[in-house]
Chain A
Amino acid sequence: MAATEKFGPLLRHLRLNAGKSMGDLARHLGVSVPYISDVEHGRRAPLARHRILDTARFLGIEPSTLLVSATQSRGVLDIEGNPSEHAVEVGMNFAGAMGRLSESQLNQIARILEAEED
């Protein structure tokens, strides 16, 4: 399934593949079953980043596909923590330029971020 798939159907697909019911996921996240159904039908916004990470752990999958899909569905990026003014400026510049960057430039940035996560 492509990363560009809408968040709701993607979540439902991954959840069913993992053998988890809507009730299982709702209980794990501490939300109602209609909430999960609404998200999967696209009537509610994609899950927040921390819930996606929690969901991915629960389903035993990598979170990247869901995170990318959520970002594309929302059209906005989640900002974690309390970044400095300079960090926000760099981030905004990156957001504006990312559509024009080459694969090699994106790989360079990905390597910097991976090194930072380690």
Chain B
Amino acid sequence: MSQRGFKADHGRSRGVIELSARRTREVFCPEVGPMEAVPSVWLFEGLERRSVRLQDGRVVKLSVDVKDLPPGQEGFSKYHAGKDRMVVALSSATYGQLELNDGRARFTLAHEIGHVVLHCNELERLGTLPHAAGAMARAARRGHAVFRDCEWQANAFASAFLMPARGIKQMMAEGSLRYLNLGQALSSNYVVSDMAARIRADVYRKDEAKLVNETRY
């Protein structure tokens, strides 16, 4: 998931992505507070009843799919022009892991949600291109800045969606987390992998104010 992807239409700071992830969480999981872990399978299945809004104001419904994918491919998101749906697809293996509340599978799902939320316009455009042209556009590796990269943005979204900065701040204020063991505490509280939790803890320590205040820069 550290691979560079195609260039997003807009560069996004971590603060902007934090805001987008919080709003998405509030709509997709309204019953889950910022200090709680989002559900796994029911977050995925429930996407069927959610939608995203394109830049031109058009609302596109989401749909979910489970497919037998080649080894190593955990999921993907795309725009299905025929059905006018944004599709979040998981591999059969990832779905199975999601049923077991596996941290990596949860991150994969949140990453794909990040794509349909942040990159719905790009997906709509690429999804309607002929397959070969779409594949070429997706495979394009350009020398763009990291904050302009779709994969980086989707990873930052997944991290913020699963482990909201406001929730972390609240838990620390209540003394229910020990700062030195932040990564471990995040992994256990939000049901994410040790690696995802460690990265989030490092980012949080470095940029706490920007994340909590959801600042643009």
CA distance A16 to B67 in the complex (A): 19
Could you list which residues of chain B lie within 8 angstroms of chain A, going by C-beta atoms?
41-42, 45, 48-49, 63-68, 92, 95-96, 99
A2 to B63 CA separation, bound complex (whole angstroms): 20
Task: Let me know if A49 is at the binding interface, CB within 8 A.
Answer: no
Q: How many residues of A contact B (CB 8 A)?
A: 11
| Overall SS of chain B's interface | helix
CB–CB B41/A21 < 8 A:
yes
In the complex, are the beta carbons of A22 and B48 less than 8 A apart? no
A45 → chain B, closest Cβ, in Å? 18
A binding-site residues for B, Cβ under 8 Å:
12, 16, 21-23, 32-34, 36-37, 41
For the complex, give the distance between the alpha carbons of A21 and B66 in Å.
12
Complex Cα spacing A111 to B36, Å: 55
Are A16 and B95 closer than 8 Å at their CB atoms? no
A37 contact from B49, B67, B96, B99, Cβ within 8 A: B67
Q: With both chains docked as a complex, state the minimum distance between the C-beta of A66 and any C-beta of chain B, in angstroms.
A: 18
**Which residues of A sit under 8 angstroms from B92, Cβ to Cβ?**
32-34
For the complex of A and B, the 4 pairs showing the least CB-CB separation, nearest first, are A37-B66, A33-B66, A21-B41, A34-B68
Whether the Cβ atoms of A34 and B41 lie closer than 8 Å is no
| A16–B66 touching, CB < 8 Å | no
23 pairs, A vs B, C-beta closer than 8 Å: A12-B48, A16-B45, A21-B42, A21-B45, A22-B66, A23-B41, A23-B95, A23-B99, A32-B68, A33-B92, A33-B95, A33-B96, A34-B66, A34-B67, A34-B68, A34-B92, A36-B66, A37-B64, A37-B65, A37-B66, A37-B67, A41-B63, A41-B65
